[in-house]
Amino acid sequence: MTDLAVNTNIINPEIYFGKSYLSKQRFVSYFLQISLVKKYVSAGDILEIGLGNGITADLLRKKYNLTTVDINPDLSPDVVASVDDLQVFGDERFDAAICFEVLEHLPFNKFKKSLSELKRVSKNLVIISLPYWGYTAGFKIKLPFLGEHCLKFKITALKKHNFNGQHFWEIGKRNYPLRRVKKEINQAGLKIVSSFWDLENPYHYFFVLRK
């Protein structure tokens, strides 16, 4: 998974390979990350913010020219930098910029600036995911000739977010409703092409964005 910490809160690399981190839900998220990139980017140069354990990067490198960025030099990214300051790269340097489970590791007042940087270095496409808290229920059903159908819902805003040493905020926590996050995205000059969460990993919310 691609995770990034702020300078004063760099994540221990061992966490990315622990049993609790590499859960079934985490691999669902890897699948969605890679599937979205393949759906929207046929070929070219991709910037990945947040190297984490490198699973996503290793798979994407089989098809794309990938450049990785992380704040933690111990992860051996191609470039050591923070998502809110990507001045090392020129404007529209990449065909797409991707940033999964990263932006919550910075204070919310840096969210729009980080999005603006992702927009600046990308020619057109930005794909991100963010944590999405809430009490979730739902089910999936596969029907002959009708395919798969899903019914799901999430109850949010019942819990205040307290900084846990990693996340400064999460969608669905009090004061961070989904509509507020979408408003920040629009104010950063990005259009939401697709946004969703999957019942098999309801904690991750995905956005496909265009300039």
Taking only the tens place, the pLDDT of each residue in 112-142 is 999 999 999 999 999 999 999 999 999 888 8
Q: How many CB atoms lie within 10 A of CB 80?
A: 14
Domain of residue 80: give its range: 7-210
The reply to whether 1 falls in a domain is no
The reply to whether 2 falls in a domain is no
The reply to whether 156 falls in a domain is yes
Decide: 123 and 92 in contact? Cβ < 8 Å: yes
The reply to whether 128 falls in a domain is yes
Taking only the tens place, the pLDDT of each residue in 10-37 is 777 777 777 777 788 999 999 999 999 9
- Check residue 121 and report its DSSP letter: H
> What CATH number is given to the structural domain containing 148?
3.40.50.150
Alpha-carbon span 207 to 196, nearest angstrom:
7
**pLDDT classification of 150: cutoffs 50, 70, 90:** confident
Q: Is the pLDDT of residue 59 over 60?
A: yes
Interstrand relation of 191-198 and 201-210 (parallel, antiparallel or unpaired): antiparallel
Q: How many domains does the chain have?
A: 1
